[in-house]
Structure 1
Amino acid sequence: MTGDLACILTDDLKLPADQLTDDASLDHAGFDSLAVVELSVLLTDRYGIDITDSDIKNAATLGQLDLLITSKRTGR
């Protein structure tokens, strides 16, 4: 997982750092419905990328979420 995503999850969403591994599910990492919405808004504000709540929920792991964010940022 990239440092950017880890910082957003710990600093902005206040998720526990010890739960944030590439293979952790969103539930295991501490995501709830509010965290999903907040992450979507943060990504739009900070990076100008459009990632929907559904896109985030469909990521099986934090590693997959990170790949999704990276691909949206790079346009690939």
Structure 2
Amino acid sequence: MTGDLAAILREDLKLPANGLTPDASLDNAGFDSLAIVELSVLLNDRYGIAIDEAEIKNASTLHQLDLLIQRKRDER
């Protein structure tokens, strides 16, 4: 998991650091529906990366979420 994503999850979304491991599911990392929406908006506003809530929900682990973000960043 990149440092950027870890920092966003800890600092912006206030998810508990002990649950932020690459193999953690979104549920185990502390995501709820509001956190998913907030992450989508934040990625768009801060990085210009358009990832909708359904794409985030489909990530099975934080590592998969990180790969999705990297792929979307590369597509820009």
TM-score range, shorter chain: over 0.9
- The one-letter code matched in structure 2 to 1:50 is A
In structure 1, the partner of 2:21 is: 21
Residues 42-72 of structure 1 deviation map (CA, whole Å, 9 limit, x = unaligned): 0000110110000000000000000000010
Q: CA RMSD in A?
A: 1.0
4+ runs of 1 displaced by more than 2 Å? none
Q: Count residues with an aligned counterpart.
A: 76
Letter in 1 for 2:31: F
Question: Would you say 1:54 and 2:38 are equivalent positions?
Answer: no
Structure 2 unaligned segments of length 5 or more: list them: none
Which structure 1 segments of 5+ residues have no match? Answer: none
Could you state the TM-score of these two structures normalised by the residue count of structure 2?
0.97
Percent identical? 74
Residue 44 (str. 1) matches residue 44 (str. 2) = yes
- TM-fit CA distance, 1:6: 0.3
- The answer to whether residue 54 in structure 2 is matched with residue 67 in structure 1 is no
2:2 and 2:75 mapped to 1: Cα distance? Answer: 17
Amino acid at match of 1:33: S
1:75 is displaced (CA, Å) by 1.3
